[in-house]
Amino acid sequence: MNNLKRAFVFALTAALSMGMLVGCGGEAPKKEGLEWIDDPSSWDEYMNNAKIKSLTSLGNTFRLKKAIEKARKGDDVNIVYIGGSITEGDHLDTCYANRSYNYFKDTFGKGKGENVHYFNSGISGTPSNLGALRFENDVLKNQPDIVFIEFAVNDGDDEDTRAAFESMIREALEYETKPAVILLFARMREGWTSQGWKKEIGANYDLPMISYADGITYLFDEGAMKWEDFSGDYTHPHAEGNAVVAEFISYFYDEADRTEAPAEDFSLPEDTMYPTYFYNAHMMQHSDTEAAEIGSWRKTSTGFHYSDGWTKQYSENNEPLVFEFTGKCAYVIYPTMKETGFEKLNAKVYFNGELVAEREFDEHLDGGWSCPAIGILYRSDEAGDYRVEFSAPEANPKCDLQVLAVAYTD
């Protein structure tokens, strides 16, 4: 660890201690804004500039100001994080999500901040496509006041992914609790990030945006920090890296708090930038949905984060697992498994009584680790009645198969 980094660890410990005292003693004075330092020479000065770099856009803070006001009054405030493994953070207290939640709680919460609540809905190895399908269950049902969305290193650059990302934003902004939506952008060791097109979507909705990618890139370029000071692998921040990310988010909160609130909430754009393939999705699992026919299947699954699915009985019997519902677009979530016993999941899709698609999804993947994958069953511009039948290949019915969930939009 270099000397600049040691100085940061000391400064962070002091800052956290002060935050805890604030939480016990009442509202803290608003912090002064930062000014760019042309010739930084200490860790604090480099971090000063990195924080400024990280704040892509303060956006419309009307809703965030309302959440801060609620927290200070002692009303319940729910902060929900959704993303991939960077957000999930191995469920450790040192992850950026928990650290930034603690900062908000200690800085704005009443008393000890027990009125501020934390929900981490990160799932490793998953993109915005799955995030949009699980958004209702994993974000909106938590009645959010603040939503962080982070998928910048999990997403590609195709239209489906962009559509899914925008759908999460619109659903959150339209939700009855009127949450503030904050976009967080990460990067990988070699620099990859999908933040470019995400920034365009965020600007269209006048959202707050924090690019820790831009902040740490500045630190790398200036020689103030090495990748190893931030991460122990190709992308995931370690404890000290997460502390840096949390510092960027804390700076955003401070800036939002010290600046005047907009006179009114933003106006939602009438048209979307991308198709609504994932908009207003609902996910079905056996804990809340009965299959129309269970066939040769049973109610259980072992997919990563998904134990409420269905598993085919390991036998020659091959009666289909059947779902019936009304919607526009339909999807299946299935596991990717390294075990060779897993086969191809077959699906027959009927829409308004007509067979419209026969799909095949391979559940065996070399190196697979139960990570959920998404299969498109069928898409329609208008809602209709679906009947979907899942079965094993006729040539090898005695195999391992799972359906983790079925999802549809309306």
Position 20 scores a pLDDT of: 43
Q: What is the DSSP letter of 260?
A: P
Backbone torsions φ then ψ of 41, nearest 5 degrees = -135, 0
β-strand partners of 310: 403
Helix (H) or strand (E) holding 81: strand 77-83
pLDDT, tens digit (0-9, with 9 covering 90-100), for 174-228:
999 999 999 999 999 999 999 999 999 999 999 999 999 999 999 999 999 999 9
Backbone torsions φ then ψ of 239, nearest 5 degrees = -55, -45
Ranges of residues in the chain with a pLDDT under 70 are 1-28
pLDDT, tens digit (0-9, with 9 covering 90-100), for 27-50:
667 778 999 999 999 999 999 999
Position 322 scores a pLDDT of: 98
> What is the dotted CATH code of the domain comprising 3-258?
3.40.50.1110
Quote the CA–CA distance of 268 and 175 in Å, as a whole number.
12
Position 19 scores a pLDDT of: 45
Position 16 scores a pLDDT of: 46
Quote the CA–CA distance of 20 and 107 in Å, as a whole number.
8
State which fold the 281-409 domain adopts.
Jelly Rolls (2.60.120)
Quote the CA–CA distance of 253 and 79 in Å, as a whole number.
13
Q: For the chain, what is the total number of helices (H) and then of strands (E)? A: 11, 17
Token pair for 159: 């239209």
**Degrees, nearest 5: CA angle 153-157-159:** 130
Closest CA to 135 of 310, 277, 269, 283: 283
Quote the CA–CA distance of 172 and 379 in Å, as a whole number.
23
Where do the structural domains in the chain lie, given as residue ranges?
3-258, 281-409
Which pTM was predicted? Answer: 0.93
